[in-house]
Amino acid sequence: MRTVTRSNAGELPVIKLPAGFLLGTATASLQIEGGDRNNNWFRWCESGKVADGSHCLRACDHWNRVKQDIALQRELGVNAYRMSLEWSRIEPREGSFNQEVLARYREEIQALREAGITPMVTLHHFSNPLWLEDSGGWIQRSIVDRFGRYTARVVETLGDLVEHWVTINEPGIYLAFGYLMGIWPPGRRSLRCWLRGAHNMVLAHQEAYRLIHAIQGASGRPTGVGVAHHLRVYDPASSERRDKRAARRLERHFQDFFLDRTVPHSDFIGVNYYSRDIVSFSWNPAQAFTRRSVSRNAVRNDLGWEIYPEGLSRVCTSLSQRYTLPLYITENGVADAADALRTRFIYDHLAQVAQLLQRDVDLRGYFHWTLMDNFEWAEGESGRFGLYEVDFDTQTRTLRDSGRFFGEVCRRNGVTRQMIRDYL
């Protein structure tokens, strides 16, 4: 497959996306809302475990700026938005639901719809209420009923406004970082916990899928339910058998495990695609006997991740060969504070989307990560993925050049010759 580089910008193909294709941005509640002290990440930040010392209590203050942030999306011209709900706000104490919070989310979603923006709503995106974290979180079997109860309440309240539901965001990442490597809350390093968590997340998704369909079906509403999977390309460092097996092992444990068990209980597959890893065998059992590195000469983002657009095609092609469900790119983006790479990043990944569509892969939408710089978990405020730059002290949002480009992509449903001349 041809890699497009700056030197051949003159011959870049135009991109036309099909009518009805969802184009928008993605965010997560904990990363943008700010102001919530009742979740596991609040406590993690309090204990000083975020690289740059920043705190999710600040984030983008979106909780108080919902209208302003919807206006940003109107300015871009998106027709869709992937957002998540903060469980710790909705159910601050076990079994007690906050109607005001649900009403606020309802207002937000209603406002999106009035602006012509289709919402895709995620129920769990890495953050847990403290009561849940303190009573065993995802390693207790009770999580299945707890997640089900929360899901049912949300869908009963918001179901008339939302057709697309993501139950869980990136189960593989959440569990690996929180339960195996210990670099996210709850900071565990235990294979046993990881296995129990993985099993429970699958069951929780299956239960949520069943409940959402039961509730929506009873009202005759069209509904799609899926998981947003973090899918990377794992390429072996050499043709040696042990490197190949190491790459395959990562794919199996951190990706296929969740795909194989959730796809039969899903209506679509969400693909969060960012990068690839070069994998070699290592004797380190804590890393599943693998070592990951970045391909030599690779263009890297601010966090050192390789920019590898072809990987998006490889991941989606493989999914379309293995499963029959429609795909959404539920996340794709780049940490790039200087905005030196993002425009080209977007173009190159959308070019892959266009190729996939030409090959009849059932791909229905693309959500760019992310609307605005936000709280990037263990990296804090220094991982800058936004189409809008955020000054966290003043909460000023400023459209980056790449944001201007993405806005034109949304308004024109593709990339024209003129846009290639102007931006690339």
Binding site for ligand IFM (CB under 6 A): 28, 31, 170, 272, 331, 369, 376, 385
Cβ proximity to ligand IFM: between 105 and 305 the closer is: 305
d(CA 45, CA 24) in angstroms, rounded, equals 30
Strands 290-293 and 276-281: antiparallel
**99-114 and 66-76 are packed helices; what angle lies between their axes, rounded to 10 degrees?**
20
d(CA 307, CA 311) in angstroms, rounded, equals 9
Cβ proximity to ligand IFM: between 331 and 336 the closer is: 331
d(CA 44, CA 383) in angstroms, rounded, equals 17
Least separation, in Å, of the C-beta of 114 and ligand IFM? Answer: 27
Least separation, in Å, of the C-beta of 184 and ligand IFM? Answer: 11
Cβ proximity to ligand IFM: between 170 and 302 the closer is: 170
Token output for 127: 């953050």
Mark out the alpha helices in 55-183 (DSSP H runs). 66-76, 87-90, 99-114, 130-134, 143-158, 171-175
* 149 phi/psi in degrees, rounded to 5: -65, -45
d(CA 389, CA 372) in angstroms, rounded, equals 6
**CA contacts within 13 A on the Cβ side of 76:** 34
Least separation, in Å, of the C-beta of 94 and ligand IFM? Answer: 25
Cβ proximity to ligand IFM: between 12 and 329 the closer is: 329
Cβ proximity to ligand IFM: between 146 and 229 the closer is: 229
Is the alpha carbon torsion for 70, 71, 72, 78 positive or negative?
Answer: positive
Least separation, in Å, of the C-beta of 40 and ligand IFM? Answer: 14
CB atoms within 10 A of CB 258: 23
SS3 203: helix
Token output for 367: 């959500």
Cβ proximity to ligand IFM: between 51 and 214 the closer is: 51
Least separation, in Å, of the C-beta of 365 and ligand IFM? Answer: 16
In the bound state, the residue with its beta carbon closest to ligand IFM is 28
Peptide bond before 186: cis, by omega within 30 degrees of 0?
yes
Least separation, in Å, of the C-beta of 233 and ligand IFM? Answer: 15
**342-358 and 310-322 are packed helices; what angle lies between their axes, rounded to 10 degrees?**
30
**191-218 and 143-158 are packed helices; what angle lies between their axes, rounded to 10 degrees?**
30
d(CA 203, CA 319) in angstroms, rounded, equals 22
> Which residues are designated catalytic?
170, 331
Cβ proximity to ligand IFM: between 331 and 381 the closer is: 331
3-state helix, strand, coil in the chain (%, to 5): 45, 20, 35
Least separation, in Å, of the C-beta of 245 and ligand IFM? Answer: 27
